[in-house]
Amino acid sequence: MRKELKRYSSIGNRAGILLLCKKILTGQLEDLPSIEVSCTFINGVDLNFKCGIIAFEEIKLISIVNQKCLAQSLFYSEQNESLFINQLCRFCINALIDMDMINVANIKYNEIKDCFQIPKYAFKMECSVYRNLLITFGALIQDDIFFTVNDGFESDFSKFISKKRHISQAQLLENLEKEQFIGEKGEEFVLNFEKKRCPFSVNQKRKIKRISVIDASAGFDIQSFEDEISENKRFIEVKTYSGRIHFYWSANEIRAARLRGASYFIYLVDFNKIECQGYVPIIIPNPYLNIKDKSIWDMQPSSFEVTTKMQEDELKKCIPLG
């Protein structure tokens, strides 16, 4: 069926897609030939019925036996049509990522526009129908080169991509899985820590984002703000350790630290203290200067492992306040 989808680009316009959903996503066994007739020649409705049926069956929105159709997990609601549209978009986003129809490695964070963007070439040909559905309902915003992810759906992309990566990484060695688990817990801790660090407004808290889930090449993990009265951004690389204080600093992260200067921070998180009430991580402002030019750090150029012989309390006293 996926090969057949390459022949199509769109199910139809907004009215057509919603009409199809209203007819087949009912929770009841529906007769497809009858529905096709009822959807024909309606003013203002553009609908490729065959394309819609193939597309919905491919992502398991419906099952079909002997020209009878049954909705599987999502049902149309005229009373809550906006909610239904959001659910439909999330279902399509999940399906695209789960079925590898988007190369998620190509999704990038645009720092200037404060948004995630997907280049057109990241979409496989057979997913044009779903991509255009997401455009129709505003989940994706079309540009010349990129599709911008509507900020209302950023969390869905993050969640589904994270889920996909967890599944694929289940085959890695146990120590790599443990490192990833520790790293993700550290990032989640810092995300929550940042939202509480200042009396940010609700809107400011919404803009404090975990960038690394979608764009692992950004050179930082979390975007926050300097304080509640400033629009100056704080770019945070999270390094979570267990045991001795150490972390690995990639060339890309060093370059990001050099370019962003005083706006860039490394947060050192002790994994074993994350659950302790009131725990504050070690915060290193402008690490390009405060690590490379400080004698308290030992940097190994082969792997950029950064260590210190100091204890946590001593180290906090030596680092300028962030």
Strand ranges in the chain using DSSP code E only, listed in sequence order = 30-31, 62-65, 68-71, 108-110, 115-119, 140-142, 146-149, 209-210, 222-225, 233-241, 246-248, 264-270, 282-285, 298-300, 305-307
Which strand (E) or helix (H) includes residue 187?
Answer: helix 174-197
- Cα three-residue angle 72-74-77, rounded to 5 degrees: 135
**Which of helix, strand or coil describes residue 39?**
coil
Mean confidence (pLDDT) of the chain: 89
Q: Tell me the average pLDDT across 76-82.
A: 91
Query: Could you tell me how far CA 284 lies from the centroid of its own chain?
Result: 26
Give 265-281 pLDDT, tens digit per residue: 999 999 999 999 999 99
Give 151-177 pLDDT, tens digit per residue: 999 988 888 888 777 655 555 556 666
- Amino acid sitting at position 307: T
Cβ burial 245-271 (10 Å sphere, 16+ → b, else e): bebebeeebbebbeebeebbbbbbbbb
CB 191 within 8 A of CB 202: no
- The pLDDT value recorded for residue 176 is 62
- Cβ-based neighbours of 206, under 8 Å, separated by 6 or more: none
In which band, very low, low, confident or very high, does the pLDDT at 322 lie, cut at 50, 70 and 90? low
Q: Kindly report the number of other CB atoms within 10 A of residue 151's CB atom.
A: 14
Specify the length of the chain in residues: 322
d(CA 187, CA 204): 18
CB 102 within 8 A of CB 119: no
- The pLDDT value recorded for residue 46 is 94
Give 16-45 pLDDT, tens digit per residue: 999 999 999 999 999 999 999 999 889 999
Q: Dig out the tokens for 75 from the structure.
A: 């049902």
- Strands 233-241 and 264-270: what pairing? parallel
What pTM value is reported for the model?
0.72
Give 109-137 pLDDT, tens digit per residue: 999 999 999 999 998 888 899 999 999 99
Q: Tell me the average pLDDT across 53-81.
A: 92
- The pLDDT value recorded for residue 302 is 56
First to last CA, the chain: 55
